[in-house]
Amino acid sequence: MRKPFAITLDPGSSLANHTGSWRTLRPEYVDRLPPCNAACPAGENIQGWLAHAESGDYEAAWRLLVQDNPMPAVMGRVCYHPCEGACNRGALDDAVGINSVERFLGDEAIRRGWGFPQPAERSGKRVLVVGAGPSGLSAAYHLARAGHQAVIHEAGPVAGGMMRFGIPKYRLPRAVLEAEIARILALGIELRLNAKVTDLLATMKEGAFDAAFLAVGAHIAKRAYIPAGSSAKMLDAVSLLRSMEGEAKPMLGQRVVVYGGGNTAFDVARTARRLGAEESVVVYRRTREKMPAHDLELEEALQEGVMVKWLSTITHAGESSITVEKMALDAKGFPHPTGEYETLEADALVLALGQDVDLSLLEAVPGLEIDDGVVKVGPDMMTGHPGIFAGGDMVPSERTVTVAIGHGKKAARHVDAWLRGARYVPPAKPETAAFERLNTWYYSDAPKTVRPLLDVIRRQSTFDEVVGGLDEGSARYEARRCLSCGNCFECDNCYGVCPDNAVVKLGPGKRYRFNYDYCKGCGLCAAECPCGAIRMVPEEI
């Protein structure tokens, strides 16, 4: 059954005197910001590239996507897709599988060998990028496309940063990572490996750099004091995951305990299962609701046989066991020790309590403000020292690949403007297209496509990729589920329902306009627009 016909003024508007006895409101076309676009930390034009994918023009979709994010095949695997959490379709049936379509496009680009065009002009400016992780690679990519020479100094032997050393292969196959890094470097970006920057200003002077972007990853594991016997086997999560990139794999034993509650803790616990541990237990001092790990990580870990001890803290580590104290929540929801203890058999204890960034390269740089292990930056991503910008793990933010890639893009725009003696001012964002503005009676139920999963037995014994990708038919179906929230997609509804022929078609891709000489302001067009791209405003005097 259709909703009753109604016309609603935009919030804050008031009726003005109309120009005739027949019209008090007039319709106008409007572009609103899709909630998926608004929620993307990388600032992707999601609705735009989904429209190209829906039409089957995958290369156009990919090229629009990489204007903001140069690593869609990686992001299609490791991003926790906040865009889907904001998707209006989720209030109708299920959110659009944006992340799975992004992965399809990224994989299609690798398969077909699509590359980035070389910059039309070179500025002659040189920018030092410290760190070849997601933020550094993103910044270098956007700087190169703006015509600047980006030179990446990477302390490690290979590029990738925490994408390589912090994300296991069963989530991110290394061939995919290598392919997208190689495509970025093909823009003429210079990568210097095993080149740790110890004195930033000296390095900038020696290399004749005009600006710098700092993107050092959080590779230093945080520690906690846990009384332990001399033979207790304790490791940190960062070192363990890093060692997985080498030839010799760590020997953890049959019973592994991981202390922590973040995504890294579950990456380690799942890795331990694949290394042969019969028992892999995560010990966390709070409840599931307070756990920082994403639900997807937790669910996949539980499927693979990882166990979790909630409201527990480790008080002692011995040669083959650990002592755990149970916690209880007080009236405010904070955990407190109870004095109740239990013993868990354990061959190894892995600490996954968070990571810090090595900021020693900044010791001689004046003007920087460092607080709680991160560098403070302004809205333009610049530190307190002119020409030195920072992003990713080095600044206060959520530490995800998506956020880091977004920081790289944002910083590159400000670096580009600074090098040109200007100031980058981002365009004003239109209002977000809310679900209430959509006329969803036009849409039938279309359940979200579920991505294939590797069977649990193989997941416990191999590092094969766990989550599979969509085939072309499924990816195109998923793109078609987009509601085009807030933006006209030329469905012709307004044209067809107007009783006065006041809607004028301007041709494919050009949308429509209103002929107000004919329009009576009845509002049928606004009521029948599926995506909420028409609003009724007071008639001007």
Residue 303: give its domain's CATH number: 3.50.50.60
Distance CA 455, CA 465 (A): 11
Q: What are phi and psi of 458, to 5 degrees?
A: -70, -30
Distance CA 80, CA 167 (A): 13
Distances (CA, A) of 176 to 75, 124, 136, 163, 240: 11, 32, 18, 11, 22
- Position 218 scores a pLDDT of 86
The answer to whether 170 and 220 have CB atoms below 8 angstroms apart is no
Distance CA 258, CA 496 (A): 62
Distances (CA, A) of 426 to 40, 377, 416, 504: 16, 17, 13, 33
Same domain, 215 and 319: no
pLDDT tens digits, 419-433: 999 999 998 999 999
The reply to whether 65 falls in a domain is yes
The reply to whether 427 falls in a domain is no
Same domain, 17 and 95: no
- Give strand pairing partners of 279: 255
- For 348, the enclosing helix (H) or strand (E) is strand 348-351
Per-residue tokens: 96:
């659009």
Domain boundary among 338, 354, 370: 354
- On the CB side of 486, how many CA atoms lie within 13 Å of its CA? 21
Same domain, 249 and 312: yes
CB contact set of 473 (below 8 Å; sequence gap of 6+): none
pLDDT tens digits, 468-497: 999 999 999 999 999 999 999 999 999 999
Per-residue tokens: 332:
């405010």
Same domain, 268 and 324: yes
Same domain, 22 and 52: no
CB contact set of 163 (below 8 Å; sequence gap of 6+): 74, 78, 133, 134, 172, 177, 401
What's the total number of domains in the chain?
Answer: 4
The reply to whether 428 falls in a domain is no
Q: Tell me, what amino acid is at 388? A: I
The answer to whether 270 and 458 have CB atoms below 8 angstroms apart is no
Q: Nearest 5 degrees, angle CA 378-CA 380-CA 381?
A: 70
Distance CA 387, CA 396 (A): 19
Q: Nearest 5 degrees, angle CA 259-CA 397-CA 216?
A: 80
Domain boundary among 354, 374, 389: 354
Per-residue tokens: 57:
């023009």
Could you tell me where the DSSP H helices lie in 260-391?
263-274, 295-303
The answer to whether 399 and 393 have CB atoms below 8 angstroms apart is yes
The reply to whether 79 falls in a domain is yes
Domain boundary among 478, 498, 528: 478
Distance CA 149, CA 210 (A): 10
The reply to whether 445 falls in a domain is yes
The reply to whether 429 falls in a domain is no
The answer to whether 275 and 249 have CB atoms below 8 angstroms apart is yes
Same domain, 181 and 136: yes
Same domain, 225 and 350: yes
- Position 400 scores a pLDDT of 92
The reply to whether 141 falls in a domain is yes
Same domain, 313 and 227: yes
- On the CB side of 267, how many CA atoms lie within 13 Å of its CA? 29
Residue 458: give its domain's CATH number: 1.10.1060.10
Q: Which domain holds residue 18?
A: 1-31+488-541
Same domain, 343 and 253: yes
Same domain, 230 and 174: no
Output the CA torsion 166→169→175→181 (10° steps): -10
Helix (H/G/I), strand (E/B), else coil: 458: helix
Distance CA 525, CA 440 (A): 15
Same domain, 349 and 449: no
The reply to whether 121 falls in a domain is no
With a cut of 50, list the residues of the chain below it in pLDDT: 1-20
- Give strand pairing partners of 329: 335
Residue 537: give its domain's CATH number: 3.30.70.20
Same domain, 166 and 226: no
Q: Nearest 5 degrees, angle CA 529-CA 534-CA 535?
A: 125
